[in-house]
Amino acid sequence: MQAEIRTLVDISDSDAARQGQADMVLDRARWAASIFEGYDRETTMAIVDAVATCAHDHSAHYAEAVVQESGFGVAAHKKIKNELTAHPLVDFYRDQDFVNARVDEARKIVELPRPAGVIFALTPSTNPIATLHFKILMALMTRNAIVISPHPAVRKSSLQAARALCAAAEAAGAPKAIIQILENPTIPMVEAFMSSPKTNVILATGGTPMVRAAYSSSNPAIGVGPGNAPVFVDVSADISKAAQRIVASKSFDNSVLCTNESVLITTPDVEKQLIIALKSAHAYICNDDDVDRLRRFLFSPRGFNIEAIGRDATWIAESSGIRVPSNTKILVAPIARIGIEERLSREKLCPVLALHVAPTRDQAMAQARAVLRLTGAGHSAAIHARDEAVIMQFSGMVEAYRVVVNAPCSQGAAGFATNLAPTFTIGTGFFGRSSIGENVGPQHLVHWTRIAYNADADEPFGNYHGLGRAFRGPLATAPADGVPGSAAQRPVMAPQTSAITSTLDGATKDELRRLIAEELRDLLRK
């Protein structure tokens, strides 16, 4: 009798296995969110402040770590961004109450805050730690659980930073698993989390394919689009200050913020003085041959050369075959036109600034509008001017939801050199095919149940002051606690088992794969 031969099939990398892994992480997150929803504001803010302190204290360390891991950016500038997304971010929203009921006696309405629940958040390679700080603190301020999918190019640094914040939150009294991060994010794993019915909302920060994939996931999503900010220098501007601010902004962290100036536009009556001022601020003005070399180096038929992302101006110049002074901060490339045929008028996440001189002020504004229509619709624009009528005309012309006036656009549009809400998630609204046009903040992670009384004056309104939720402790036991090697003992690791298939369609998967090609192709080389 012939022996029966059985073949064991490895299903650990199957759709079902991945969905099962996602389910286990999300189940723990849902448990944490259900407990956290009962916390009072004092306890909630104590946790938020503890995490902000941890974020601030480790800002320099992770700035250095990210630059070392990714190979681009400026550590000193990343430290600033990491710090700005700690205490300053929390202080900006400190007076806003996302925990207690709001009572409107005049309208006889009581509003109860309802946290989203479980947030699945993606973080980019360009601003990984600042974005991680930002999204975690937003989630905690609104009593949500959060699961982070870090960019693979900065996975190690992101894991370490998330672990530190998770430990700080739990030490301050947060439920276990309120913060989790995927150890080995892959495209199929991201698909599983984005499509799971246990995910309540997706916070997508990244390229257009990632944002559209999030919107196609069947779950609510808050997505942001790419930038390509035009900056107009008007004859009414303080030209010297404008040049200094533009160079400082474009060179900040080697221009990896999507809010950086991409195309500088001016008029003939400003051109000569502006170029002199730019040179004084350590900008190098390219000649025609330099511009050709830059264009060939930065762009290919496949798109933007990812090797140039976050590199400094001298490195880009040397790689392009251009000789520049060693103190050069940015490269300025004069271009004759703006549009699809001129690749330098597209977004450039490096210290290369296109310069276009339009014949008139009206044409300059029209060209600024064209820059945003090329890419970056709904994102950001900047103007340097002292004529209020010009500022209003420009702001009404460009299809952007942030217009920064007489300030660095990199920091200003993100709320760090202006009084806009501080953010690392820029809403591009209807122009950019996004659901939110303002700077994304914690207010977007909580909705409100409205208790509405009969409007008739004869119907009395109740007394709701002082009523609300209170944290009664002690904490319940988290799912999987006490199981050796469980997620409870490894709060930032994805568990390994499964059972439901992914529901994302092929088109969405293709978009995710294009995202990886767009953002990771060369960064992941050993």
**Burial grade of 287 (CB within 10 A; 0-12, 13-18, 19 or more):** exposed
Which residue in 258, 286, 350, 409 is the catalytic one?
A: 258
CA distance 13 to 6: 20
Q: How far apart (Å, rounded) are the C-alpha atoms in residues 498 and 25?
A: 11
Contact in structure between 242 and 355 (CB atoms under 8 Å): no
Task: Phi first, then psi: give them for residue 104, nearest 5 degrees.
Answer: -115, 95
| Eight-class DSSP state of 37 | T
Tokens of 411: 């920091």
Q: Is the peptide bond before 408 cis (omega within 30 degrees of 0)?
A: no
For the beta carbon of residue 195, count every other beta carbon within 10 angstroms. Answer: 23
CB atoms within 10 A of CB 128: 29
Phi-psi group of 282: left, alpha or beta (phi > 0 → left; psi -120 to 50 → alpha; rest → beta): left
CA–chain centroid gap for 24, Å, is: 26
Residue 192 tokens read as: 């599983």
Phi, psi of 494 (to 5 degrees): -80, 125
A 10 A CB-CB count for 255 gives 30
- The secondary structure of residue 305, as a DSSP letter, is -
The pair of structure tokens assigned to 13 is 């990398």
Report yes or no: 160 and 62 within 8 Å, Cβ to Cβ.
yes
- Cα dihedral 365, 368, 372, 373 sign: positive
d(CA 434, CA 397): 20
Q: Are 183 and 491 in contact (CB under 8 A)?
A: no
The gap between the terminal CA atoms of the chain, to the nearest Å, is 53
Here the tokens at position 499 are 């059972």
Tell me whether residue 54 is one of the annotated catalytic residues: no
For residue 306 the two structure tokens come to 């990812």
Rg (CA), the chain: 25
Rounded distance, CA 203 to CA 226, Å? 15
Residues taking part in catalysis: 258
